[in-house]
Structure 1
């Protein structure tokens, strides 16, 4: 839904594919295991930038007025515009090469790598937030938006990320609520490659 991302292609190639400039991020090795709490590259209306994956909901409350305690790494498309916990969030896109899911019981889980069948990047719809720490330092945060799975993903997980085409990115970033709600649907079947991920060191980034 996703639980981890991976981005192994050169960032210059990704920026060219997106048609935007690449900020100076220093040396960036291939990332095979991007985990919640780590930085992930994000596309906003201002271009590419790193953000922390996971919204720490400081000051946010649920429908009952109680503080939201858990870190939000994924937001359900069905309620992202309705829950008070998401009030005031922005929109962004997380461009990656794919994500991982797991099946099976603890200690006997099978890891699955999910990517675009044609080898293109995948574009996850996302929401953003900014946490201002004491002293004024700001932390930009992002969470992926999820929806029910398509037939390809359903045997592995009951949710999947909302995936966008390149043509839909401007609509997601700048469209009104009615326009973006039309984008929050399962990805068409047959466009994903799903394979066992037997070559990943889960202790490495």
Structure 2
């Protein structure tokens, strides 16, 4: 949706794909199992950097004024501009080479790997926030956006991440709400490959 993803390509390739300097993330190793709570590579207006995947909603409230208690890993694109819990968030892009989903019953789940049919990167729309911790600690955080699934993934999950075309990344990062809303839609059918990930040696999240 994603709950786990992978970024295994060299950072020089990623930097070239988004026309950015690779130096801030040059030491990022190939990672095949990236989970919420970990530091991940992101792209913002300032360039490539790292943020914690999952927004700790300290001080954020819902429409009824009640505190948001659960860490926000994925946010629904349909309400991201409406819910008070997201007020004041920034925007980012989370690059990846693909992500994982699982189907089936607990302890009998089947893992699936989703990748771009032509290889390369997928760029997920995301929102950002900064957690101010004790002693002046500041942690930049990110949550990916989700939308209804494309035909490629509908059989394995009822949601998917909002994927941006490379040429739409600047608009997502800088555009106003009216102009970015059309970007928050399922990825076109036929652009992704879904295959059983029989090589995974770790359980579903």
* TM-score of the aligned structures, taking structure 1 as reference length: 0.96
Partner SS for 1:62 = coil
**The 10-residue stretch of structure 1 (192-201 or 45-54) with the greater mean CA deviation from structure 2:** 192-201
Counterpart of 1:162 in structure 2 is 162
Shift of 1:26: 5.8
Counterpart of 2:66?
66
> 2:107 is matched with which residue?
107
Superposition CA RMSD, Å: 1.1
1:15 aligns with 2:15: yes
Alpha-carbon shift at residue 28 of structure 1 (Å): 2.9
Q: Which residue of 2 aligns with 1:3?
A: 3
For residues 78 and 36 of structure 1, what CA distance do their matches in structure 2 show?
22
- Contact kept in structure 1, 2:55 and 2:128, CA below 8 Å: yes
* SS of residue matched to 2:151: coil
Q: Do the aligned partners of residues 26 and 170 (structure 1) sit closer, same or farther apart at CA in structure 2, a change above 3 Å counting? A: closer
Q: Within 5 Å, which residues of 2 pair with 1:115-130?
A: 115-130=115-130
Structure 2 gaps, min length 5? none
Do the aligned residues in 2 keep the contact of 1:145 with 1:162 (CA within 8 Å)? Answer: yes
Q: CA deviation at 1:134?
A: 1.7
- 1:76 aligned residue: 76
Q: Which runs of 5+ in 1 are unaligned?
A: none
Q: Residue 146 of structure 1 corresponds to which residue in structure 2?
A: 146
Asked whether the 8 Å contact 2:101–2:113 carries over to 1, the reply is yes
Residue 98 of structure 2 is matched in structure 1 by 98
In 1, the alpha carbon distance for the partners of 2:87 and 2:23 equals: 29
CA contact (8 A) 1:23 1:49 kept: no
Give the SS at the match of 1:21: coil
How far is 1:172 from its partner?
0.2
Output the CA distance in 1 between the equivalents of 2:24 and 2:46: 15
Secondary structure at the counterpart of residue 124 of structure 1: strand
- Work out the CA distance in 2 between the residues paired with 1:184 and 1:27: 32
> Partners of 1:89 and 1:196 in 2: how far apart?
36
Q: TM-score, normalised by structure 2?
A: 0.96
Report the Cα distance in structure 1 between the residues aligned to 2:25 and 2:118, rounded to whole angstroms: 28
Secondary structure of the 1:15 match is helix
Deviation digits for residues 92-131 of structure 1 (CA, Å, limit 9, x no counterpart): 0001101110000000000100010000200000000001
Cα deviation digits, residues 150-198 of structure 1 (max 9, x gap): 1111000000000000100000000000111110000000000111111
Contact 2:160 2:186 in 1 (8 A): yes
